[in-house]
Structure 1
Amino acid sequence: MAYRFISAEKAGDVTTLSIARPEKLNAITPNVFAELTDAFDAGLADGTRAFVLTGEGRAFSSGADLMPDGAGYLGLPEDLGAIIDAHYNPFTLKLMSLPVPLVTAINGPAVGAGLSLALAGDIAVMGRGGYLLLAFVNIGLVPDAGSTWLVASSVGRQRAMKMALMGEKVSADDALAMGLIAEVADDDAVLTRAQEIAARLAAGPSKAIGLIRRQINAAVDETLAQSLMTERDNQRACGHSEDFKEAIAAFGEKRKPVFKGR
């Protein structure tokens, strides 16, 4: 499929997806969600074992596009709940349920719903010149696209409240200190670093890695007893995998395992 609002590039087992609306700071529309959804599905069908998500130009994403784009998008509707139900929530759930890891390369500002996409990465790498911003309160709205859960589960109630209620920028260094992101890199090295991480994950036991990401995401809301059962079920599945058998064989033969993601 030829894309108009995003770009997709596969190198080895890693697919890099970029929101490609740099003239609008990669503002999000339903068309962006539709093309990203298609690209994730196509990547998985093509054997992708790790994804990188980023934005073209000087921003990761400025969040929802508030204005018509001349390509069929008429701007935000009067009923914001409808567009959230139809596009924002399904896409956030898709990101969180991917069977392979997602690394985000936050190459500039990540604002509003763009912050949600940025923090949905299992490992988020952020450029020193970028910032995160829960901007919703500044226009009389509430956080959406999963940003409430993503921020609160990372930094706790007080810091999440301050971010959401004050609507102030959070620098890359502060985001790292707060636990919102995993790494800070020089602005011109963000994408390269994210792709390096993704390549390492893609070479790993991707079946186990996919279950790990789901397991940790679920643990935020589970009781200890529920988490123990989740761990048991996932461990059972991994114990029957080819990758585990390969790891045992490699250990006995004193060599590095070659994982195939099965």
Structure 2
Amino acid sequence: MTATPEREVIGGLRVEFGEGILRITIDRQERMNAIDLATMDALGDLLTGRADDPSVRVVVISGAGAAFSTGADLAAAANGPEADPRVVMESANRVIRAILTLPIPVIAEVNGAAAGVGASIAFAADLAFATPSAYFLLAFVNVGLMPDGGSSLLVPAAIGRARATEMALLGRKLGATDAAAAGLIARVLAEDDLSSHVRAVAAKLARGPRRAIELTKRSLTATTLARIEEAIERETEGQIELLAAPDFREGVAAMLGGRVPEFGG
């Protein structure tokens, strides 16, 4: 008999655990699953605490509704108390580092838009599966920022410098089919097949040899992302500068006002 999964809601996250699989669903549908600081902190707490429990064998991160995550919630940041840019960056960095260093696999189930740090979370996952309508967007440049969440290394490591530069400097969307063809995600599944495929993959991994999977993940990460810490530190310092700059304030104001930004350079 299969045990009933444990379920709880933590801020903007729905959490379910059963059969060794910890499923974390970003559920801020009114904001297209944009992540505010409290939700990012909660996600980091789960990944550095609950997911490190030996009973957890796999983590699945998904988004409720029509999006995976459209990135940082800039509207919440603009309308709420001003957060210290370093605090904001360290919160996001903790999530990315946890995904990369957990001894168990992390799967991203991408059912729609994955933009900004939402895209970085998907790219950091060990396996990312998406529907044909999903897309990935390094939207940072549109509001006067630079890629973060390790994506300045995660993306070119997968698809090469030229295509990564196009995404980062031009803010070009990359559809799921092209992302899979380029090696940025594992596979594209039909809309009706995504969840069942992720469940099957997660179940297989949960039954697998934990130590062998851990050492395999560690080896692949070390081989392909040996300089990820350098990239994260470089992104952090650059983003802290940009978050305090006039171009960022103009970018956010333009986005919220539905107009084209006028950057001052």
- Please list every run of at least 4 consecutive aligned residues from structure 1 whose deviation after the TM superposition is greater than 4 angstroms: none
Amino acid at match of 2:88: I
Larger Rg: 1
Matched to 1:56, the amino acid is: A
Distance in 2 separating the partners of 1:203 and 1:75 = 45
Which residue of the partner structure matches residue 19 of structure 1?
26
Q: Against the structure 1 CA distance between its residues 120 and 58, is the aligned structure 2 distance closer, same or farther, given a 3 Å change threshold?
A: same
Of 44, 56, 79, 2:52 maps to 44
TM norm structure 1: 0.78
1:11-67: per-residue Cα shift (whole Å, max 9, x none)? 311111101111111111221122223333224326010111101110000000002
Q: Do the aligned partners of residues 184 and 117 (structure 1) sit closer, same or farther apart at CA in structure 2, a change above 3 Å counting?
A: same
CA deviation string 1:72-112 (max 9, x = no partner): x82764x634421x311122111111110111100110001
Aligned partner of 2:61 in structure 1 is 53
The answer for unaligned runs of 5 or more in structure 2 is 1-7, 228-265
- Secondary structure class of the residue paired with 2:61: strand
Cα distance between partner residues in 2 of 1:75 and 1:153 = 36
Deviation sequence 1:184-218 (CA, Å, 0-9, x none): 01123222211211111111111111121121111
Distance 1:82 1:35 in 2: 14
Pick the aligned partner of 1:66 from 46, 60, 74.
74
Secondary structure of 1:67's partner?
Answer: helix
Q: What whole-Å deviation, never above 9, does each CA across 1:235-261 have from its counterpart, x for those lacking one?
A: xxxxxxxxxxxxxxxxxxxxxxxxxxx
Q: Which residue of 2 aligns with 1:30?
A: 37
Q: How much does 1:222 deviate?
A: 4.7
- Report the Cα distance in structure 1 between the residues aligned to 2:213 and 2:13, rounded to whole angstroms: 26
| SS, match of residue 76 in structure 2 | coil
Does 2:136 align with 1:132? yes
Q: TM-score, normalised by structure 2?
A: 0.77
Contact 1:106–1:126 at 8 Å: present in 2 too? yes
* Aligned 8 A contact 1:14 1:195 in 2: no
CA RMSD of aligned residues (A): 2.1
User: Equivalents in 1 of 2:72, 2:116: separation in Å?
Assistant: 7
Name the CA shift for 1:67/1:160 in 2 (closer, same or farther; >3 Å).
Answer: same
Identity of aligned residues (%): 37
Instruction: Look up the SS of the partner of 2:148 in the other structure.
Output: coil
1:116 to 117, 120, 123: 120
Instruction: Pick from 172, 177, 182 the counterpart of residue 176 of structure 2.
Output: 172
Q: Which runs of 5+ in 1 are unaligned?
A: 224-262
SS of residue in 1 equivalent to 2:74:
coil
Decide whether the 8 Å contact of 2:124 with 2:154 is kept in 1: yes
Q: Residue 219 of structure 1 aligns with which residue?
A: 223
In 2, are the aligned partners of 1:20 and 1:55 still within 8 Å (CA)? Answer: yes
- In structure 2, what is the equivalent of residue 83 of structure 1? 88
